[in-house]
Amino acid sequence: MTEPALVLNGATKRFGAFTAVDQLSFQVPAGSIIGFLGPNGAGKSTSLRMALGIMTPDEGSVSLFGAHPDLSALRRVGFLPEERGLYKKMTARQTVAYFARLKGLSARDANRRADELLESTGLGEFARAKISKLSKGMAQKVQILSTLAHTPDFLILDEPFSGLDPVNQQALEEIIREQHAAGATILFSTHVMEHAERLCQSIVMMARGRKVFDGTLDAAFDALGRRAKIAVEAGYDLPTALATTGFHVERDSHEHEDGADWWLVSLPDGRSAQNALRAAIDAGAPIAGFMQEEARLRDVFVELVEREEARGKLAPQPELETL
Amino acid sequence: MFRSIYLVARRDYLGYVTAWGFWLGLLITPVLLGVGMMVPALAASSVPVRYFTVVDAQGDFHAALVQEMADRRERIARNVVDGAGMLLGDDADRGAALERFDAAIEAGESPAAAMEIAAPHLPDLQLPEQDFVLVDPPAQTLDDLRPYLVGERFLETESGPRPLFAALLVSEEGVEYWSENVTVDGIKSLARRAASDMARNEVFGAAGVSIGILDEIEAATPGLVEKRLREEAGSDSEVTLADRAPFIVSIAMSFFLWTLIFSVVNYLLMGTIEERSNKIFDTLLTSVKLPHMLAGKLIAVLAVSLTLMSVWTLGGMGVTALGISAMPGELRELVGAMAAAALDPGILIPALISFLLGYLMYGSIFLALGSLCDTIQEAQTLMTPLLILLMVPLFVAIVAMTDPESPVLSVLSWVPLFTPFLMILRMPTEPPLWEVLAQLGLMVAFTVAILWLAARIYRAGAVHGAGVNDAMGYLKRTVSFGRA
Q: How far apart are CA A130 and CA A90, in angstroms?
A: 5
Residues of A in contact with B4 (CB under 8 A): 71, 102
Chain B residues close to A86, C-beta within 8 Å: 278, 280
Angle at B164 between CA B163 and CA B169, to 5 degrees: 170
Contacts of A101 in chain B (CB under 8 A): 7
Q: Which of residues 126-185 of A touch B (CB under 8 A)?
A: 143, 146
- Whether the predicted pLDDT of A322 surpasses 50: no
- What does the pLDDT read at residue A115? 94
Could you say which residues from 38 to 67 on chain A have a Cβ atom under 8 Å away from some Cβ of chain B?
49, 52-55
pLDDT at A77: 93
Q: Where are the domains of chain A?
A: 6-221, 226-294
Answer whether B473 touches A (CB < 8 Å): no
CB of B334 less than 8 A from some CB of A: no
CATH hierarchy code of domain A6-221: 3.40.50.300
DSSP type of residue B227? B
| ipTM, 2 dp | 0.75
Binned at pLDDT 50, 70 and 90, residue A184 comes out as: very high
Element counts in chain A: helices (H) and strands (E): 11, 13
Residues of chain B neighbouring A187 (CB-CB closer than 8 A): none
Residue B274 at interface with chain A, using a CB cutoff of 8 Å: yes
Beta bridge partners of A156: A79, A187
Which chain B residues touch A79 with a CB distance below 8 Å?
A: 282-283, 286
Residue A16 is classified by DSSP as T
Determine, for residues A54 and B287 on separate chains, whether the beta-carbon distance falls below 8 Å.
no
Q: For chains A and B, count residue pairs whose Cβ atoms are closer than 8 Å.
A: 61
Q: Looking at the domain that runs over A226-294, which CATH code has it been given?
A: 3.30.70.120
With 0-12 CB in 10 A as exposed, 13-18 as middle and 19+ as buried, what is B136?
Answer: exposed
Q: How far apart are CA A194 and CA A222, in angstroms?
A: 17
Q: For residue A202, is pLDDT > 80?
A: yes
Q: Is the pLDDT of residue B484 over 50?
A: no
Q: At what angle do helices B241-277 and B433-462 cross, to 10 degrees?
A: 10
CB nearest B286 (choices: A74, A86, A90): A74
Average pLDDT on A149-162 reads 91
High-pLDDT (> 70) share of chain B, %: 89
Mean residue pLDDT across chain B:
82
Pick the range with the lowest mean pLDDT from B69-78, B222-231, B359-368. B222-231
Of residues B396 and B91, the one with the higher pLDDT is: B396
* pLDDT value, residue B479: 58
Q: Min CA distance, B5 vs chain A (Å)?
A: 10
Given a contact cutoff of 8 angstroms between Cβ atoms, the answer to whether B128 and B135 are in contact is: no
- B270, B282, B284: which to substitute to probe chain A, counting the most A Cβ within 10 Å? B282
Task: Show which of residues 289-308 on chain B sit within 8 Å of chain A, judged by CB atoms.
Answer: 289
Digit-coded pLDDT (tens) for B6-32? 999 999 999 888 888 888 888 888 888
Mean pLDDT of chain A: 86
Searching chain A, which residue's CA lies closest to the CA of residue B18?
A89
**What strand order describes the sheet that includes A248-251?**
A248-251, A260-266, A227-233, A287-292
Q: Are B282 and A146 a contacting pair at CB < 8 A?
A: no
Bridge partner residues of B171 (DSSP): B174
Whether B283 and A89 lie within 8 Å, measured CB to CB: no
Which chain A residue has the Cα nearest residue B6? A102
pLDDT for B258 beyond 90 = no
Rounded to 5°, angle at Cα B89 from B87 and B91: 105
Above 50 in pLDDT, residue B139?
A: yes
Of B155-159, B321-325, B457-461, the range with the highest mean pLDDT is B155-159
**Shortest Cα distance from B355 to chain A (angstroms)?**
30
Buried b (16+ CB within 10 A) or exposed e, A93-110: bbbbbbbbbbbbbeeeeb
A122-147 tens-digit pLDDT:
888 999 999 989 888 888 889 999 99
> Which residues are bridge partners to A187 per DSSP?
A34, A156
User: B9 with B300: CB under 8 angstroms?
Assistant: yes
Average pLDDT for A237-265: 85
Q: Tell me the per-residue pLDDT of B58-84, one tens digit each, with 9 for 90 and over.
A: 888 999 999 999 988 898 888 888 877
pLDDT at A94 (0 to 100): 94
**pLDDT of B466:** 72
Kindly indicate the confidence band of residue A323, based on its pLDDT and cuts at 50, 70 and 90. very low
> Which residues on chain A are in Cβ contact (under 8 Å) with B277?
85
pTM of the model: 0.72
The stretch B324-343 carries a mean pLDDT of 74
Minimum-distance CB partner of B283 among A55, A89, A99: A99
Which residue from A222, A1, A199, A103 is spatially nearest to A27, judged by alpha carbons? A1
Cβ-defined contacts of B144-148 (< 8 Å, 24+):
B145/B53, B145/B55, B145/B178
**A198 and A161 in contact (C-beta within 8 Å)?**
no
- Do the Cβ atoms of B386 and B418 come closer than 8 Å? no
Range list of β-strands (E), A223-283: 227-233, 248-251, 260-266
Question: What pLDDT is recorded for position B165?
Answer: 92
Distances (CA, A) of B414 to A2, B168, B363, B396: 62, 55, 20, 13
Nearest CB partner across the interface for A79, out of B19, B275, B283:
B283
The set of residues, in sequence order, having a beta carbon less than 8 Å from that of B248 and lying 6+ positions away, is B338, B341
Instruction: For residue B288, list chain A residues with Cβ-Cβ distance below 8 A.
Output: 71, 102
Q: Are A83 and B15 within 8 A, CB to CB?
A: no
Domains of chain B: 49-55+131-211 (3.40.190), 60-130 (no CATH), 241-483 (no CATH)
**Is B282 in Cβ contact with A81 (below 8 Å)?**
yes
Per-residue b or e along B443-481, where b marks 16 or more CB atoms closer than 10 Å to that residue's CB? beebbeebbeebbebbbbbbbeebbbeebeeeeeeeeee
Question: pLDDT tens across A79-119, in order?
Answer: 998 877 888 889 999 999 999 999 999 999 999 999 999 99
- Residue A297 distance to chain B (closest CA, Å): 30
Q: What is the DSSP letter of A319?
A: P
Mean pLDDT of B463-472: 71
Q: Are B426 and B410 contacting, i.e. CB atoms less than 8 angstroms apart?
A: yes
B463: nearest CB among A54, A86, A98: A54
pLDDT value at residue B90: 58
| Residue A321 in this model has a pLDDT that exceeds 60 | no
Q: Classify residue A41 as left (phi > 0), alpha (psi -120 to 50) or beta.
A: left
Mutate which of B272, B284, B286, B474 to disrupt the A interface (most A C-beta within 10 Å)? B286
Is pLDDT of B474 > 70?
no
Q: How far A212 CA lies from chain B's nearest CA (Å)?
A: 26
Rounded Cα gap, residues A194 and A303, in angstroms: 16
Q: Per-residue pLDDT for A320 more than 50?
A: no
